[in-house]
Amino acid sequence: MKILHLDHIVLPVRSVADSVAFYEGVLELASSQFGEGLTALIVGEQRISLREVGTGQLGARAPTAGSAEFCFVVRDLDAVSQRLDTAGIAVEKGPVRRNGTLGPLLSLYVRDPDGNLVELAEYEDPQ
């Protein structure tokens, strides 16, 4: 078996509408409808499907809104920081240096409406 790449993940949320407002309005991700009334956030060639906890759909054994941690790679972390400030989103930590999949990162950490820890990171210049 050879796994080729990650297609999508499912993020348990309390409110799809609140999550879309945050990810579209603050982080400028696009949302998309698919299937039977399902909503996803588009990140490059992957998606984050949003599923309200308690909807009864097949999913994780114990889905809990606010239990995720993930990292988005961004361009121009200074501009991202300004956007967060303008939107009134508190930075919990950062900028701090971290290790990403492809090398050193400079990261900011914020919380989404459910309390998920969202890392916004820019790869450091390799020079």
Angle at 27 between CA 115 and CA 78, to 5 degrees: 105
Catalytic site includes residue 52: no
Q: 24, 69, 119, 124: which is the annotated catalytic residue?
A: 119
CB neighbour list of residue 81: distance below 8 Å, 6 or more residues apart: 91, 95, 108
Q: Rounded to whole angstroms, how far apart are CA atoms 63 and 52?
A: 9
What single DSSP character describes residue 66? T
Task: Report whether 60 contacts 68 (CB < 8 A).
Answer: no
Amino acid identity for residue 11 in this structure: L
Instruction: Kindly give the pairing relationship between strand 46-52 and strand 69-73.
Output: unpaired
Q: Rounded to whole angstroms, how far apart are CA atoms 84 and 67?
A: 22
The residues assigned a catalytic role are: 119
